[in-house]
Amino acid sequence: MNQRQIEAFRLVMLRGSMTAAAEELGTSQPSVSRLIAELETSTGLALFTRNGGRIQATDAGSAFYREVDRSFVGLEKLAHSAREIRQFGSGRLRLVAAPVLALSFVPMVIERFLAAYPRIAISLEMRSEGTIQRWASSAYCDIGFATTTPDAFGVTSTELYRLPGVCALPAGHR
């Protein structure tokens, strides 16, 4: 399996035909057909059914495409990161925080940070505690601010402060 085969497969899936994929690749339809056949041989998967000059993705082909597409999203993310580094100098800081922190504490921290490092691009997303843990453990964000101690693999936590809890109920509630 090689990059050219994967690229041809992706374009066939996106364009719906080998001819359209060949046009986009600047090559011939037989060349794309050969690349797809080689990919099917190397993966051991039947990626398409062929019927009278028309192709249709098999279940295996659709499943394989989802993985291929995921890898292309990763490549696009790398290209985006390179553009950001060129544009902002040293890059970007991605923060995620629980709503109570994203609406109070974290914006103040961001303001102070930007005063010291004005060329850094910072994004802040407000998410649930579970999402914060998943994003932090998968390195989807640089820093997560949560109200609970995480139990996710690969996450290191530091307690910033403690606050007393209060529960407000209507008068007469049992």
Interacting residues of 125 by C-beta distance below 8 A, sequence separation 6+: 94, 95, 96, 97, 102, 141
Residue pair 150/136 in contact (Cβ under 8 Å)? The answer is yes
Question: Can you name the CATH fold of 3-82?
Answer: Arc Repressor Mutant, subunit A (1.10.10)
- In angstroms and rounded to an integer, the radius of gyration of the C-alpha atoms of the chain is 24
Domain boundaries along the sequence of the chain: 3-82, 89-145
Nearest to 10 by CA among 57, 77, 79: 57
Q: pLDDT per position in the chain (174 positions), as tens?
A: 888 999 999 999 988 899 999 999 999 999 999 999 999 999 999 999 988 878 899 999 999 988 888 777 667 776 776 776 666 556 678 899 999 899 988 999 999 988 988 878 889 999 998 888 888 887 788 889 988 776 766 677 788 777 778 888 899 988
**d(C-alpha 26, C-alpha 40), whole Å:** 22
**CATH 3.40.190.10 at 89-145, yes or no:** yes
**d(C-alpha 1, C-alpha 38), whole Å:** 8
Give the global pTM. 0.47
| pLDDT reported for residue 97 | 93
Residue pair 93/121 in contact (Cβ under 8 Å)? The answer is yes
| pLDDT reported for residue 81 | 67
